[in-house]
Homo-oligomer: A and B are copies of this chain.
């Protein structure tokens, strides 16, 4: 009874071409991979793209109450995309598979938890002889992960189960797309977001707006197209990029500025769908981490129960198809107090480790009696020193009060800004107060979004 955890935060199938990510960003997501250390259980095997600080591992396992020495952490040699990503050549390299095979046998691994169950993981699972025990393998082995990674698949399923989504559609024809964009949005003064079918974290998204000044949240940029002619020009220019050379599809949706992003995390298990939790992406002063649970300021002002029901409803077809694993359903709370679902991700989420910390470290009714605020892109002193400073300032996480600060991701960047922490407070105000004290302690962690 042990789990093989593979922290492949970005894969070929998630982003299309890993080369399109800058080396800096690849190092950043490679560092971020430490998040999955919080998913460790006694005796598990963890695969990371870069070796973590041993002190960090002892800190995590200590907080989780498991034996560091019973846990194995493996890092394959750098691959064709460097160190930050667990590309296929790294995961499926012969020597590394041999090493993993030995670890799987020694630890009695009978479960696999990747960040993203893509075809490389499927190949690896088969090579390790774990295909028979892996829930959902039949689906994932036949490119089910890629299918669910498609934004067009999301739109079809959301439409099918009647989930509230932004007005929009899926297009393969430029002329249809132009007509739709113009008639439904631009001619009415509304901006729209255009999403490549396969991409992640806004890298394949652009906003088209009839007016300037629309902040491209969740997209690479905003393009202004004030009339039909400018729209045609823009589309002709970008259609090949939007549609992978003219053959794929593009999702076009109403873009609602000043919306607050929220999410619900669920698990599709053999027996059915289970709810993990929900939260909000903090937008102000900058986009920087999560608040768990979603604060009442947004959740109480909309039909949040309806959103959670829709999220669960969207998981039913995923269950029927044979998917097993985590589902993160993203939505926006609009200034008009609508809540609209705009994406799902069938993989480990950016929130998964925060909920694990809630369940395994904070415990109790963490989801109702505590607030967890996660901060990203922070700059720390070296790990041991950071922990010591927090403790000396009385800010370290304290199991007795079930409050305080946990370093969730160590900052291994020489230039800083790769670190993450999680503040546990009794209320949002309490968490924010602790957060400010941490900020003062480290003379202001960078918050670059």
Contacts and interface: CB of A to CB of B under 8 A. Distances in A.
A81 to B, nearest CB: 14
- Name the interface size band of chain A: 35 or more
Interface in A152-187: 152-153, 155-162, 169-170, 172-173, 176
Contacts of A138: 159-162
Interface stretch (A96-104, A316-324, A412-420, A428-436): A316-324
B249 A248 contact: no
Interface stretch (A142-150, A300-308, A358-366): A142-150
A144 B156 contact: yes
A159 B134 CA distance: 13
A392 B411 CA distance: 91
A139 interface: yes
A142 B160 CA distance: 8
A322 B247 contact: no
B146 A249 contact: yes
A208 B419 CA distance: 51
This chain: how many copies in the complex?
2
Contacts of A159: 138-142, 144, 322
A76 to B, nearest CB: 18
Q: Which of A119, A143, A147, A169 has the most CB of B within 10 A?
A: A143
Nearest to A150: B147
Given A141-B159, A142-B155, A320-B320, A247 B249 contact: no
B169 A146 contact: no
A176 B122 CA distance: 12
A391 interface: no
Given A143-B152, A160-B136, A160-B139, A119 B176 contact: yes
A101 B119 CA distance: 48
A285 interface: no
Given A159-B322, A161-B322, A321-B160, A170 B142 contact: yes
A215 interface: no
Nearest to A137: B159
A248 B323 CA distance: 22
Given A146-B249, A152-B146, A322 B141 contact: no
A347 to B, nearest CB: 15
Contacts of A152: 142-143, 146-147
A19 interface: no
A434 B360 CA distance: 75
A170 B144 CA distance: 9
Contact of A244 (B136, B158, B173, B247): B247
A422 to B, nearest CB: 35
B321 A157 contact: yes
23 contacts: A119-B176, A123-B176, A136-B160, A138-B160, A139-B156, A140-B159, A141-B169, A142-B160, A143-B152, A143-B169, A143-B249, A144-B159, A157-B322, A160-B323, A244-B245, A244-B247, A245-B246, A247-B248, A316-B320, A317-B320, A317-B322, A319-B320, A320-B320
Given A146-B172, A147-B156, A247-B247, 13 more contacts: A12-B173, A123-B176, A138-B162, A139-B160, A142-B159, A143-B152, A143-B170, A144-B159, A146-B152, A159-B322, A317-B317, A317-B321, A321-B321
